[in-house]
Structure 1
Amino acid sequence: MTSPDLRQYAPATQRNREPILNVLQQVLPPQGTVLEISSGTGEHAIFFAPHLHPRKWLPSDPNPSARASIAAWRQHCPTDNVYPPIALDARDPVWSVEQDELLEPLQGFEKGEIGAIANINMIHIAPWSACLGLMAGAARILPPDGVLYLYGPYKQNGKHTAPSNEAFDQSLRAQNPEWGVRDLDEVITVAQTQNLSLLKVVPMPANNLSVIFKRDE
């Protein structure tokens, strides 16, 4: 659903935003900027940011309509610690936050201020190459001890954690054979190849998980 002012709405956001915020408050660095990959509607950004001062929040999405929604939410719920949304595709070998000329609209932003990356409900609704790109980008951008936060459904030990997740996986693969609920062990293995160590896994409502990685020194 899209309102006349371009704001889009994702019903799941209303259900998961407070549990996610609770985890973020525990695991994020105490300052710096959180780069959100695949921000979608922008509802998470405008909800999290006021609770995360003095940290700043940088939303991004490869989809122009999503960026328009993020901008509309940012205008509707103004807060001084959310940057304007940027175009960023996790699969790109060089992200826009690594290119000075693409960051000129972000007044006051400096590349070195990103201390964490958040990625909510993307890996299963994207090709596996997006997960690979996400891990590679996190390895390039995060400082030592920087945090990568993931949220969504995962298989564990090669098995679905609930019948609802299995049905969801089947529906995703029916829409696009490249999509699907990922096996957590495979995600962790990819992260390890990029110098990212698993910090913790937190069970979340509706059979989802928060998965937190830390960039090694």
Structure 2
Amino acid sequence: MDKPHAPACERNREPILEVLRRHYAGRRRVLEIGSGTGQHAVHFAAALTWLDWQCSDRAEHLPGIRAWLDEAALPNTPPPLELDVVGPWPHGPFDAAFSANTLHIMAWHEVEALFAQLPAVVADDGRLVIYGPFNYAGRYTSDSNAAFDQWLKARGTHMGIRDAEAVDALATAAGFALVDDVAMPANNRCRVWQRTRH
């Protein structure tokens, strides 16, 4: 099969990798939630050789992810797992979790489900990194993000850029504290949380 390809992954992978090098330096096992095409997984696993990078996504995306993983044939990328955030989750513990460009595509109840499930699969000292666009104090950070949000809502009323404060509240309820918030190209952010209680 032809591998799926997302041009945005090529553009954002190096800035994200810089953040992951710093925050995953002491990690061993990462669960990627919503691996999409699989491009990020191959790039990050090749660069962060000390990590086992576990892909996951809904069933319809797994063949494309497998195509990327099979071609790269890296020793630290086990077969991808089926994961719908409102369904069964894989067994942990993972000492890190990562997700890119997912929260604005999920319905809000799915975002809530994601954070509610994290304590069951992430280790006591686990670290969570999420990449994507966020609003702050209910405001868009750029005209391009405002236009993107309107485009999302036209595709599906359940989609939209999430408020950072609302996401932080879910993280806090799950026992995670925000430890970093890094500005990224194209008006995106890499937001990092550390598990603080269990």
Matched residue type, 2:78: Y
Counterpart of 1:89 in structure 2 is 84
Q: Aligned residues: percent identity?
A: 37
Counterpart of 2:46 in structure 1 is 50
Give, in angstroms, the shift of residue 174 of structure 1. 1.0
Counterpart of 1:30 in structure 2 is 26
TM-score by length of 2: 0.96
Which stretch of structure 1 is more off in the superposition, 180-189 or 139-148?
A: 139-148
Q: Is the 1:29–1:116 Cα contact (8 Å) retained in structure 2?
A: no
Name the Cα RMSD after superposition: 1.1
Matched residue type, 2:26: P
Give, in angstroms, the shift of residue 8 of structure 1. 0.2
Q: Deviations over 1:63-122 (max 9, x none)?
A: 32x110111111111110001111001122x41x13xxxxxxxxxxxx33x110101000
Distance 1:77 1:191 in 2: 34
**Corresponding residue to 1:63 among 59, 62, 82:** 59
Distance 1:136 1:28 in 2: 22
Whichever structure has more strand as a proportion of its residues is 2
Distance 1:153 1:67 in 2: 25
Distance 2:27 2:126 in 1: 11
Distance 2:113 2:96 in 1: 16
Give, in angstroms, the shift of residue 130 of structure 1. 1.9
Distance 1:216 1:6 in 2: 42
Counterpart of 2:179 in structure 1 is 199
Distance 2:49 2:155 in 1: 39
Counterpart of 2:119 in structure 1 is 139
**Corresponding residue to 1:184 among 136, 149, 164:** 164
Counterpart of 1:9 in structure 2 is 5
Q: Deviations over 1:165-185 (max 9, x none)?
A: 000001101111110001101
Distance 2:126 2:27 in 1: 11
Matched residue type, 1:20: I
Change (3 A) 1:199 1:150: same
* Structure 1 runs (4+) greater than 6 angstroms displaced: none
Distance 2:163 2:27 in 1: 32
Q: Is the 2:153–2:159 Cα contact (8 Å) retained in structure 1?
A: yes
SS of the residue 2:81 aligns to: coil
Distance 2:16 2:59 in 1: 23
Give, in angstroms, the shift of residue 29 of structure 1. 4.8
Q: Give unpaired runs (5+ residues) of structure 1.
A: 99-110
The number of residue pairs the alignment matches comes to 197
**Corresponding residue to 2:73 among 78, 99, 112:** 78
Matched residue type, 1:179: M
Matched residue type, 1:216: T
Q: Give unpaired runs (5+ residues) of structure 2.
A: none
Change (3 A) 1:90 1:29: farther
